[in-house]
């Protein structure tokens, strides 16, 4: 077995000879000290537990020495000493092999293990590299969101050093289309050493061996399972873990899976406030690089606040036209977002693009065109849905303004529609372009995981509420809840959202039905006009993933955002039916959302990302609407990409359903760094259904 281990790891016995001798000496010293203590204890106490006399102590000491030293008469007493010697020999043998294993991991695996490391240190090191969180007391558990915890910031599934090592050791010839079991033993040692100790099977590891190997190391939540011989140091288990593993990557093979187009979202400030293209030469180089790895196209925001900035119905498309021509020449496709909201103040916003100046002027004299909370604070991120049919925007209603903007875009870029360059138009329906109320504004004091506040206190929405209450016959219901807490409240702290709270009473059901129906009516009205403006083209609407407090009965955060989705009602099926009515696709920004379950802050917020994901997807697929997606978090590592792939192409879907396209957020200098771009290239190929095991290093 020693020869096998040296062949596998390639370590020298001399590297750890001093450590082994030190361990043996310590054991001998401990045994000697324990023997002396045992003799002293027997000398101090008699059979009945009382202190013996001095002469009796001398007799006891003589008897003990005879029993230890006499081979014949003390055979029965010396058996424990023989067993102790055999145990010491086994322990020396075990420590020698373990030392060689650790030396090989230090030398060939670049693991920073302490001199007196044990198998628990190995597990901790492997868990950290796999992206897990390892606490000081040794507790280990998966971190589902890279960067969400300090311990997980640097724990990408493959570090830069390990990825470089892999790319250096793979053969120079192409390995595309080759199964993961082809590797010879030498290639297995070089390529798979860091993959054999995955603390738990990754969500994308479908092999039965992956489950059996990891389940004996760490259980869910970091609890140790019954397979503790590995923790205790059993060499049989170590051999089984290292030698007996099949040479398989812990990744799904996406070869032959459906082709899913990949788009890259361009930077928010690619067009400035004068509608001029910023750094066209640099952008052209980046687009060529994207084209070189067969990215299908790019997504771009067309900002209302830039194009119609100065005066009503005066549109400036110059910067966008230059950009679109550049994309057309490279034979890329375009996804365009009609952005009717302001940019700045939200997560990921690195530029400030306000609403048109003339709209801001109207807002100063009539602030009720904006969403308003109970305290009278205005949210200028987008226009209130209360003015969808009110002629308060220089003689036009809000939906007429949106339609005129979309029609101008269609006329300006008609040739790009006819040539099929513009593949999809996503219509902004609220803050961040999403169909929701701006219920969680940071500038008004909201902090995660607050429930947010209802946004229905401008005069136009209150008038709509009064009308609905009178039609119901209860005019005194024409008010918002007065016990719904504040932005950062928790459900149990309020009388409205707590268990058996007012949200499920007669008034609560009336109010929430009116509040959510206004959201659906807004989406229905705007999408009907978008369908008219972009006839023959694919349109889409974006939904948020509000997953906190999903495990409570009220789903408070969803209620304030306009989704009437408590535990006893499906609030997404009506939205899906509305999208189906207009042939619109659903863009659900949740490509990796369901893998956040283990984050401590999500557990405290009684969040359930996975439950929300499947509820929304089931509603979409039941109504037969197209689903597209984008990543909600920055991703540059293989583990994150694999999570996205598993969501976009679900392996267990009985009907073989998958997303129609995926948009990567977003094009940045960090993405264009060599190692990150190599991982992204590999991700694109797998999205396209190509059989790729290793990166070959792009020439760019």
Reported as type and span, the H/E element at residue 302 is strand 297-303
Residue 288 to residue 698: CA distance in whole angstroms: 13
Tokens for 594? Answer: 């369901």
The residues, ordered by sequence, that sit 6+ positions from 7 with a Cβ below 8 Å of its Cβ are none
Do residues 222 and 120 make contact, with C-beta atoms less than 8 angstroms apart?
no
The residues, ordered by sequence, that sit 6+ positions from 64 with a Cβ below 8 Å of its Cβ are 39, 42
- Residue 141's φ and ψ, nearest 5 degrees, are -155, 155
Name the packing angle between helices 160-169 and 674-687 (round to 10°).
70
Residue 687 to residue 421: CA distance in whole angstroms: 21
Beta strands in 343-499 (DSSP E): 370-372, 378-383, 422-427
Assign 3-state DSSP to the chain and report helix, strand, coil percentages, each to 5: 45, 10, 45
Do residues 554 and 491 make contact, with C-beta atoms less than 8 angstroms apart?
yes
Residue 266 to residue 298: CA distance in whole angstroms: 7
The full 3-state SS of 595-616, as one line of letters, equals HHCCCHHHHHCCCCHHHHHHHH
Q: Helical H runs in 249-380?
A: 280-292, 304-307, 318-329, 357-365
Q: Choosing from 342, 426, 434, 558, which is the catalytic residue? A: 434
Residue 15 to residue 154: CA distance in whole angstroms: 30
Do residues 209 and 264 make contact, with C-beta atoms less than 8 angstroms apart?
no
DSSP track, 95-153? HHHHHHHHHHHHHHH-----TT--HHHHHHHHHHHTTEEE-TTS-EEE-SSTTSSGGGT
Our answer to whether residue 630 is catalytic in this structure is yes
Q: Could you tell me the sign of the dihedral formed by the alpha carbons of 4, 7, 13, 19, in that order? A: negative
Q: Choosing from 592, 630, 646, 681, which is the catalytic residue? A: 630
User: Which candidate, 240, 92, 196, places its Cα nearest to that of 100?
Assistant: 92
Our answer to whether residue 85 is catalytic in this structure is no
Which positions are annotated as active-site residues? 434, 630
């Amino acid at each position: 077995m020693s020869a096998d281990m040296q062949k596998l790891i390639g370590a020298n016995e001399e590297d750890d000879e001093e450590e082994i001798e030190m361990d043996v000496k310590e054991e001998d010293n401990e045994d000697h000290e324990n023997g002396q203590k045992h003799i002293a204890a027997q000398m101090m106490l008699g059979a009945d537990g009382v202190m013996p006399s001095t002469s009796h102590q001398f007799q006891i000491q003589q008897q003990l020495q005879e029993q230890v030293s006499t081979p014949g008469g003390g055979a029965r007493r010396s058996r424990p000493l023989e067993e102790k010697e055999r145990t010491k020999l086994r322990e020396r043998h075990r420590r020698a092999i373990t030392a060689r294993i650790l030396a090989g991991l230090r030398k060939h695996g670049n693991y920073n293990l302490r001199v007196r490391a044990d198998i628990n240190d190995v597990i901790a090191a492997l868990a950290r590299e796999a992206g897990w969180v390892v606490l000081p007391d040794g507790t280990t558990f998966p971190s589902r969101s890279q960067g969400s915890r300090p311990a997980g910031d640097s724990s990408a599934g493959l570090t830069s050093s390990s990825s470089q090592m892999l790319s250096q050791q793979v053969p120079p010839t192409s390995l595309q289309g080759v199964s993961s079991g082809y590797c010879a033993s030498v290639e297995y040692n070089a390529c798979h050493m860091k993959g054999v100790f995955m603390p738990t099977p990754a969500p994308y590891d479908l092999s039965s061996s992956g489950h059996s190997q990891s389940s004996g190391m760490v259980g869910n939540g970091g609890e140790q399972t019954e397979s503790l011989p590995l923790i205790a140091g059993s060499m049989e288990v170590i051999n089984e873990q290292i030698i007996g593993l099949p040479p398989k990557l812990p990744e799904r093979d996406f070869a032959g899976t459906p082709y899913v187009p990949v788009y890259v979202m361009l930077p928010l400030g690619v067009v400035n406030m004068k509608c001029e293209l910023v750094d066209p030469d640099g952008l052209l180089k980046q687009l060529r690089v994207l084209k070189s790895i067969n990215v299908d196209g790019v997504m771009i925001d067309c900002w209302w606040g830039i194009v119609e900035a100065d005066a009503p119905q005066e549109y400036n498309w110059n910067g966008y036209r230059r950009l679109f021509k550049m994309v057309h020449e490279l034979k890329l496709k375009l996804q365009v977002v009609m952005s009717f909201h302001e940019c700045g103040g939200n997560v990921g916003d690195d530029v400030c693009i306000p609403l048109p100046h003339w709209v801001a002027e109207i807002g100063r004299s009539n602030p009720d065109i904006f969403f308003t909370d109970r305290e009278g604070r205005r949210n200028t991120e987008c226009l209130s849905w209360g003015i969808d049919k009110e002629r308060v925007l220089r003689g036009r209603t809000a939906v007429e303004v949106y339609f005129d903007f979309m029609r101008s875009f269609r006329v300006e870029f008609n040739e790009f529609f006819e040539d099929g360059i513009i593949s999809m138009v996503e219509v902004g329906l609220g803050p961040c372009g999403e169909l929701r109320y701006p219920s969680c504004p940071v500038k008004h004091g909201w902090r995660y995981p607050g429930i947010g506040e209802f946004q229905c206190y401008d005069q136009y929405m209150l008038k709509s509420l009064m009308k609905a209450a009178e039609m119901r016959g209860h005019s005194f219901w024409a008010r918002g809840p007065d016990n719904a807490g504040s932005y950062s409240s928790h459900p149990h702290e309020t009388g409205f959202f707590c268990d058996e709270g007012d949200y499920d009473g007669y008034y609560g059901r009336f109010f929430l039905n009116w509040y959510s129906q206004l959201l659906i009516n807004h989406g229905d009205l705007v999408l009907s006009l978008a369908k008219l403006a972009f006839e023959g083209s694919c349109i889409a609407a974006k939904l948020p993933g509000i997953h906190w407090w999903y495990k409570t009965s009220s789903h408070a955060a969803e209620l304030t955002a306009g989704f009437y989705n408590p535990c006893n009602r499906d609030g997404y099926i009506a939205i899906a039916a509305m999208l189906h009515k207009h042939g619109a696709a659903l863009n659900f920004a949740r490509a990796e959302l369901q893998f956040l379950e283990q984050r401590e802050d999500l557990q405290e917020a009684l969040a359930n990302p996975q439950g929300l994901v499947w509820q929304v997807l089931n509603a979409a697929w039941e109504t037969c609407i197209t689903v597209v997606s984008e990543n909600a978090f920055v991703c540059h590592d293989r583990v994150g990409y694999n999570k996205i792939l598993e969501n976009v192409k679900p392996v267990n879907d009985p009907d073989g359903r998958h997303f129609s396209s995926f948009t990567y957020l977003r094009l940045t200098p960090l993405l264009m760094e060599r190692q990150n771009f190599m991982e992204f290239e590999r991700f694109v190929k797998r999205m396209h259904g190509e059989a790729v095991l290793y990166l070959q290093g792009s020439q760019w």
